Structures are given as C-alpha cells and as structure tokens.
Amino acid sequence: MIALTAAEVATATGGTLHPDADPGRLVSGPVVTDSREVVPGAVFVALPGEHVDGHDFAAGAVAAGAALVLASRELADDAGAPLPTVVVPDVTEALGLLAQDVLARLREAAVEPGGSGLRVVGITGSVGKTTTKDLLAQLCSAAGPTVAPVRSFNNEIGLPLTVLRADGRTRFLVLEMGASGPGHLTYLTRIAPPDVSVVLVVGQAHLGGFGGIEAVARAKAEIVDGLAPGGVAVLNADDLRVAAMAGRAPGDVVRFGSSTGADVRAVDVSVDRAGRATFTLVAPQGTATVRLRLVGEHHVHNALAAAAAGLAVGLALDEVAEGLSLADALSPHRMHVVERPDGVTVVDDSYNANPDSMRAALRALAVVAGRDRRSVAVLGEMRELGEGSGEAHDLIGRLAVRLNVKLLVVVGAGAHRIADGAQQEGSWGDEVAVVDTVDDAAALLDAELRPGDVVLVKSSYGAGLWRLGDHLTQGVSAA
C-alpha cells in the first residue's frame, strides 16, 4: 500500500483514531487480515469470523510490527497498554473505504507527468473469471508493473486487499469481481471503478442466490454500470444476455467471441491430443496466431476475453498473441494437468463447478483421453444451483455417458443425481461407482487406476474434491 498516516487512514475509513495513538504514525507496509502475514509497518484488519475473531490476534499483530489496527472497538495488549487502533463501525466496510481512497489517490497521481498511467480492469462472469484474470495478468505483466488477485480474491474482502497491493508504480490493476447476489458488483465497482469491464458469460452458477437466470444477468450488468467515466465494456458477443449490456456502457464497447460480428474472435481453431487449442486471433488491429498451453477448447473463449481487454488497455496485438501463447494456468485446481510417473494423467479442476464448467471439463477429458486411453470422471456436487439443482446434476450424468466416459465416480450425497442420469442414459454395472466421501473416492482410485488412464476431478469447492486432487497429484509437477 502507499504510505499513509494513521490520521489519513482514520479519515479514509470514517473511523476514530484511539486517543493515545500518534496521528502522524506512518503506515508503509501491506494491509493484511492474517496476523501471521504481518511485517513492520503493516495495517492489520481485525475481521470478525465464523470461527475466530481477528480482534483476538491484534496484540500479536502489533508485537510483530503492525503499525495500525483497523477494528470495531478499542484494543489493548495483555499488559493493558492501548494498541494503535482506528475504530470503525464495520471493519469489512472500512476495508473497502480504505481501498477506495487509496485507488483514488493512485489514479490522481497516475495522470501527472511521469505517472504510471494506471488502468483498472474488472472481470466478471458465471464461469472463467479466474482463468481470464490469470491470462490477462500475464499479458499485462509483460508490459508493465501489474497487480492481480491471488487465487480467487473476488469478494468484499479479497478485492480491496488486492487494490491495496497497488502502489505508485502500478500500471495495470486486474481485478476479479464475483457476485452471489444482486448489488454485489455495484459495491465492488464503487470501491474500484474499472476503466475496462469484462463480462464473460451469464450462466447457472449461484442461481440459488439470485432466483433465476435473468436476475443473474441484471447482477452481472452492474459491472458495466460501474465503469469509470468513458470506460470500455468488453462483452461476450456469443451470449445474448451479455451482448445486450452494450446499451448500458458509458463509452466504447468491444465484443469478443466466435460470432462473425465480434470485434475480437478466433478462427481456424484446432485442438491437439493434449487438449490444447491453436487458433488465429482476429482483431481490428490485424491477425496473429495463438497456441494456448491451457487444456480445454473452452479456454479459447477465456483467451479472447483476455485479448480484448489487453487491447483495450493499450497492448499491441503481437504482445497479446505472444503473451497468450506463453501463459500458464496459475491458480491451483483449475484444469491443472499432471502426468504421473505411473502413466496416469490427472486433470484437477476441483476448485469450483457449475453446469457450464462441468460440461466444458468433461469435453476436455474426452479429447485428452481420445479413443486409446480410459477416461475416468470423478464428480462431486455443484452447489448453489437453486431449484434446478437435481436436473442439472442429472444432465451431467447423461453427458458423461454420451461422451463415452469409461468410469464415472460420483462422490457425496449431493451429487447422486449424476449417477441417476448416467444410469438413465444407459450406463450400468462397473461403469458407475457411487461413494460417500472423498476418502472413499481416494481408496477406490488408488486401487482402480492403471497406466494410461486420464482422470478428471471436478466439483464445487465446498464439496471438497480439491483434497482428492491434491492426493492424486501429490509430489508431481504439472505437465
């Protein structure tokens, strides 16, 4: 974070500085919510939690060098000495206000002579946010200092923490913006109004929190409404609900997709036996060849979104094409491909799941396995789908059969309808196994897998199959 005084932090957050604290005390370190990450000069944000309360760790944070604590009450150490604290009504909201203030300062400095020319990109969508963020961050990093979220820091805590990592040198701030209900993106864009807003797709993720697909579309459109003045909307031309958001854009609109009317599109797409796509990138600036390292043809869509956003922030076409061809999957458990010494290929896509991403992952499994390798799909529950959850799981089971998945392992009671769908589609006997727990699945696979198998692991994060992904790939590097 840029250096601020304790008084400036109090003003930015609408808080009150503890009377015994020095208003001129300089905060020059990072903003953290975990006391174990404190370094000298840091701000420790004492967030309340379901299981632990950050206020209980404030004294330890100050002892480790934290210059200031953001808290909902005055605090003291074990000896009764007051801690340097800014007291606020709501710690989470104060964190957002601090990020909003810091970003406003950075924007002001960025346009001064010699400034960084900071550009802020916000990315949302029901599927593909993290992969697109990772791709765009790698494109931008080659052109200048870039800050992007670690993992999926895309909510009211993760986004401001990402913003607060930026400083006066930052040229690109790439932000992932998630929403599990109406108004969430309005809140996030108030903290960080994007210069470029990217909307990937309106899908079935988190339907339970919205009440229907049209409500999802309205919520995703909030990132377009929240654009900075004159900002650019980067929209998926292949999704009619996303394309319709063009009318809400305050400035230019760039469309990406396979449609002939898209400004940025892919032609001559081919996929090799490893599941990696090659295509010709077509844009107003010209054409270029892209060879993705990511596994799955569905990543062409994510690459087009990253390309359109990269061009919108001023990158050259050749920079974009080269960057996409060099980019790797950065976030764990997202189409993470591992070739084990025993000849088993593991495709770990267990971080999250919804019907769209589940279908894409199963198709990628079919391509990688081909006709000469056994395909194994280990699938868990897709959560937060609302009333249509049962049917959605049933359809995934049916698709697995149509894609000729040789062994389907269904994990957990919430995913049982996947097995039902597979059996209704014509799969029976040893082709479908149903287990209760991740440990049961691990035991089954340890006994069942043989050289040449290709194994997909996929579920929502809360279903816990990421632990199975770790088990299957332990001690082996990605392909």
Q: In residues, how long is the chain?
A: 479
Task: Give the pLDDT score at 242.
Answer: 97
Cβ atoms 254, 312 nearer than 8 A: yes
Percent of the chain past pLDDT 70, that is, above it, reads 97
- The token pair at 435 is 């287990």
Cβ atoms 25, 159 nearer than 8 A: no
Cβ atoms 63, 39 nearer than 8 A: no
- CATH class of segment(s) 336-473: alpha beta
Residue 30 has pLDDT above 90, yes or no: yes
CB count in 10 Å sphere of residue 303: 30
Helices (H), 221-333: 222-225, 240-243, 299-312, 317-326
Tell me the pLDDT band of 202, cut-offs 50, 70 and 90.
very high
Which tens digits make up the pLDDT trace of 70-125?
A: 999 999 999 999 999 999 999 999 999 999 999 999 999 999 999 999 999 999 99
Task: Give the pLDDT score at 479.
Answer: 59
Which tens digits make up the pLDDT trace of 225-235?
A: 999 999 999 99
Q: Could you tell me the CATH superfamily of domain 94-326?
A: Mur-like, catalytic domain (3.40.1190.10)
Q: Which residues pair with 175 in a beta bridge?
A: 122
Q: Could you tell me the CATH superfamily of domain 4-89?
A: MurE/MurF, N-terminal domain (3.40.1390.10)
Which tens digits make up the pLDDT trace of 356-412?
A: 999 999 999 999 999 999 999 999 999 988 888 999 999 999 999 999 999 999 999
Cβ atoms 256, 280 nearer than 8 A: no
Segment 415-423 long-range contacts (CB within 8 Å, at least 24 positions apart): 415/379, 415/380, 415/381, 415/382, 415/459, 415/463, 417/389, 417/390, 417/391, 417/393, 418/379, 418/393, 418/394, 420/394, 421/393, 421/394, 421/395, 421/396, 421/397, 422/397, 422/398, 423/397
Task: Give the pLDDT score at 210.
Answer: 66
Mean pLDDT of the chain: 94
Which tens digits make up the pLDDT trace of 37-74?
A: 999 999 999 999 888 899 999 999 999 999 999 999 99
Q: Where are the domains of the chain?
A: 4-89, 94-326, 336-473
Residue 285 has pLDDT above 80, yes or no: yes
Alpha-carbon distance of 469 to 466, in angstroms, equals 5
- What's the whole-model pTM score? 0.90
Alpha-carbon distance of 185 to 198, in angstroms, equals 12
Residue 282 has pLDDT above 70, yes or no: yes
Percent of the chain past pLDDT 90, that is, above it, reads 86
Cβ atoms 209, 120 nearer than 8 A: no
Residue 477 has pLDDT above 80, yes or no: no
Residue 206 has pLDDT above 60, yes or no: no
DSSP 8-class letter at 48 = B
